[in-house]
Chains A and B, each alone.
Chain A
Amino acid sequence: MRGRLGDRLLHVYTWLIIAWLTAPIAVMILFGFNDKQSKSNTSWQGFTLRWYGELFADGSLTGALVNSLQIAVISTILTTVIGTLLGLALGRYRFRGKGASNFLVFAAISTPELVMGASLLSLFVSGNTPRGLLTITIAHVLFSLSFVVVTVRARVVGLDPSLEEAARDLGAGTWTTFRLVTLPAIMPAVFAGALLAFALSIDDYVVTSFVNGSTLTFPLWIIGSVKVGIPPQVNVMGTLIFGIGVAIAVGNAIASRRRT
């Protein structure tokens, strides 16, 4: 009996935490509809759809969002390719430098973002590299690389080696085996890694703040305008990104449930 009560309390508790975690999202969505008159967008002043109509009214904000999307797409593609290859090597082969590779992957995940950003800036300063889209993209590939490697490696380790053996027995070459057997089998992990890389890239503030020069990304633009007041367009963009992200995740979940 006491057990039942405990379970019920834990159930309520879990929902309370979820409510707490999602409260700021509700606030973000709500204030995208705020008919604010003054500079600050912190008190509710009435409902309006105006900001959805004027979504791209602020050129610099739109530019920052476009930068973020560009960087995210390019760095995701690069990270996914490079990371998948290392994930394959680590999951499949024994080779010299495997231990060092695992250590590097682990070190890159556990290095504070701040230190990663600062050290990259040290490199770019000593190399006189102009900071901008290129340096931001380089940094984004670096911090998401390990996550793709770990995701793909886990899948490769779990793969049944007899599948590839069968392909080879049937006369398939190395490349054909990879293309027709290995790649489709690890594809879910590659896709998951790519999604993770994209999410990490589009969300990053700390590392980017060191290597951006004068180029602004979406998070940097937002932080920069905290003191003067966040325009409601930011909330609207946040709401739309949230909506698209959730739609993709739910769609993906439904699709994978159908497949199995």
Chain B
Amino acid sequence: MRRVRAAAAPYLLALPAWIWFAIFFVVPIAAMASVSLTTGNLLEGFQQTFSVSNYAKAVGQYHTQLIRSLIYGGIATLIMLVLAYPMAYWIAFKGGRRKSMYLFLLLLPFFVSFVLRTISWGFLLADDGILFGPLKSAGLLPADFHVLATDVAVIGGLVYNFLPFMVLPIYVALERVDPRVVEAAYDLYASRLAAFRRVVLPLSLPGVFAGVLMTFVPATADPVNARILGGTGNTMIGNIIQTEYLTNNDYPTASALSFTLMAVLLVGIFVYARSLGTENVLEAAAR
């Protein structure tokens, strides 16, 4: 009797989460897949026709925004990588006893709502705001100078909002590097640069992978920054999907578009994850 109960234990523990994942994650994704293969509209109803016309329509109509999102997400991720690495390096190797203080400061923005942080950037960058207003009245900037509603504002917003997700995994990877390994490189007459390039950098690559994963996906799919900081020319795919679902109620097109986005992103991710093993990526991502 005892043995039977012990054998059932993991299944009983996992059951509630399985149910939740099944009903609210697996089934909805399947539902979305099926909706993306229907034709019709909200008034007359949708018929399951297994036609891929929605995909053709979605990609044909919105490829500009899809490509723009991938470019914005890609550029933002690259900038984050360049900005994050030196900071993660310094905190990991030179932070000493103040490491946790630096990490706390890095996470400080998360105590403010994502939406509110982005709006605060809107305040800062506003045409007559506290930054540009005085500069303009002093004649240091032309009166029609603006940053809001440009590529720079949206990509800058993405970099700002997701940067800590790049710093943290790289920091975790660097923090685990055994200082004796680096010393060994010096003992073997490696220059500082060579020691970094041949020893430290390769050991930190799992962190870089995790960081890219944790920033590229949400940045590419983010509708908030484009909405608050961008103009009509900066619309991203996230905004389109929201509008198609919530305003136009064009569920087939919206589903096809969501699936296309997810396919593009997930193919990339699982290639990444495969090369590392999912557990490693998760572990790096969890810390």
Contact = CB atoms under 8 A, between A and B. Distances in A.
Chain A's interface size range is: 35 or more
Interface in A87-137: 88-90, 92-95, 97-98, 101-116, 118-123, 125-126
Given A102-B278, A123-B27, A85 B238 contact: no
Contacts of B235: none
B262 A115 contact: yes
B246 A142 contact: no
A93 B9 CA distance: 9
A86 B273 CA distance: 22
Most-contacted residue by chain B among A116, A118, A125, A234 (CB, 10 A)? A118
A82 interface: yes
A13 B14 contact: no
Contact of B16 (A43, A85, A94, A210): A85
A114 B9 CA distance: 35
Given A122-B255, A206-B223, A112 B17 contact: no
B221 A115 contact: yes
Interface stretch (B56-64, B81-89, B139-147, B200-208): B81-89
Contacts of A97: 11, 14, 18
A17 B82 CA distance: 12
A22 B241 contact: no
Interface residues of B, number: 92
B25 interface: yes
A231 to B, nearest CB: 12
B112 to A, nearest CB: 5
Interface stretch (A54-62, A159-167, A218-226): A218-226
B199 interface: no
Contacts of A106: 273, 278, 281-282
Q: Is the interface of B mostly helix, strand, loop or mixed?
A: helix
B179 interface: no
A123 B24 contact: yes
24 contacts: A21-B105, A21-B109, A21-B164, A24-B117, A25-B109, A42-B128, A43-B126, A43-B130, A43-B133, A89-B9, A94-B10, A97-B14, A119-B32, A139-B24, A141-B20, A151-B286, A203-B114, A219-B113, A230-B119, A238-B116, A241-B111, A241-B113, A242-B112, A253-B100
Given A114-B223, A114-B241, A222-B113, 4 more contacts: A24-B123, A95-B11, A97-B11, A114-B258
Interface of A: 2-3, 7, 10-11, 13-14, 17-18, 20-25, 27-28, 31, 41-44, 81-83, 85-86, 88-90, 92-95, 97-98, 101-116, 118-123, 125-126, 138-139, 141-142, 145, 147, 149-151, 154, 174, 199, 202-203, 205-206, 209-210, 218-219, 222-223, 226, 230, 234-235, 238, 241-242, 245-246, 249, 253
Interface of B: 5-6, 9-11, 13-14, 16-18, 20-21, 24-29, 31-32, 35, 83, 86-87, 89-91, 94, 100, 102, 104-106, 108-117, 119-124, 126, 128-130, 133, 160, 163-164, 192, 213, 217-218, 220-224, 227-228, 238, 241-242, 245-246, 251, 254-255, 258-259, 261-262, 265-266, 269, 273, 278-279, 281-283, 285-287
